[in-house]
Amino acid sequence: MEISFAGKRALVTGAGKGIGRATVLALARCGAEVTAVTRTQADLNSLVLECPSIRPVCVDLSEWETTEAALKDIGPVDLLVNNAACAMLQPFLEVTPEQFDMSFNINVKAALHVSQIVARGMKARGGGGSIVNISSQASQCALQDHAVYCASKGALDMLTKVMALELGPYQIRVNSINPTVVMTEMGRIGWSDPEKANAMTSRIPLGKFAEVEDVVNSILFLLSDKSAMTNGVILPVDGGFLAC
Ligand code: NDP
């Protein structure tokens, strides 16, 4: 399936590493003008070296006011990927308020905030748009030591659905991608231990983790007009994990 984003303007958060970085590069290859937002300047420098057309924005998205200031001049955006997140794993009885606030600030509140900024512009221009929130299989299935992460992704799924409801009348579609484990920097935090990894893959009918490319392909599909009537879905990219 050929997808072109020529003439489209995209913004991707958490663009420095992993899935976000690969999404930025894929969107640029498909012809989009891409704004890459992340908090480590060195990652943005290497991204721009790799693809000079990329517009870098360095900001810690967990900070509301700083984000507002950093994104005030981004201009029109047609496609948004809310990908930035953190995964702090700890047993439920040891969760601290600081870990909770940090996780919800980036995993939920930043997605809401960046979407507000972008969707206000989409609504004003009247041309519609597409927003993809990167959630997780952890939004719908309890995982050991993932209390806060699971709760934050569950919240993100509901945010996706309400955004789809409220933004749909402006032809702004909002959908969610829910991957299984991907061996990025974040994936390695929870799943480097072979015993844990094998326990997880044994519950995935396809018997393997997802590759970054599997997730990126689904993001591109939901951003594109190929999914023009798809709105408010929670799309697992999980080899069947959530089906059984
Ligand atoms: P990585 O940790 O590899 O990359 C996350 C990116 O987000 C980094 O560039 C990071 O920057 C950036 N980021 C984190 N916090 C902030 C912040 N406060 N402000 C700005 N940027 C920030 O993660 P993945 O690529 O693995 O994950 C991408 C998405 O996919 C996330 O939403 C994650 O929850 C989801 N997901 C991942 C899975 C996995 O197994 N990897 C499975 C299911 C879902 P920096 O490095 O500078 O902190």
Domain boundaries, the chain: 9-236
CA dihedral sign, ordered 116, 139, 130, 3: positive
pLDDT, position 2: 87
Q: Which atom of ligand 1 is nearest to the CA of 105?
A: 18
List the end-to-end C-alpha distance of the chain, in Å, as a whole number. 29
**Residue 139 CA to ligand 1 centre (angstroms):** 15
Q: What's the token pair of residue 239? A: 């080899």
Q: Which of 8, 17, 72, 149 is catalytic?
A: 149
Q: Which of 17, 153, 170, 226 is catalytic?
A: 153
Compute the distance between CA of residue 229 and CA of residue 171 in angstroms, rounded to an integer: 10
Other Cβ atoms less than 10 A from the Cβ of 120: the count is: 10
User: Mean pLDDT in the chain?
Assistant: 98
- Tell me which amino acid residue 81 is: V
Q: Selecting from 3.40.50.720, 3.30.1330.60, 3.40.1830.10, 3.90.1170.50, what CATH number does the domain 9-236 have?
A: 3.40.50.720
Give the neighbor-by-neighbor strand order of the sheet with 234-237. Answer: 55-58, 33-38, 9-13, 79-82, 129-134, 172-179, 234-237
Contact 14, 85 (CB under 8 A): yes
Q: Quick: pLDDT tens for 213-243.
A: 999 999 999 999 999 999 999 999 999 999 9
Specify the pTM.
0.98
Residues near ligand 1 (Cβ within 6 A):
14, 16-20, 38-40, 43, 60-62, 83-86, 106, 134, 136, 179, 181-182, 184-187
Beta bridge partners of 237: 179
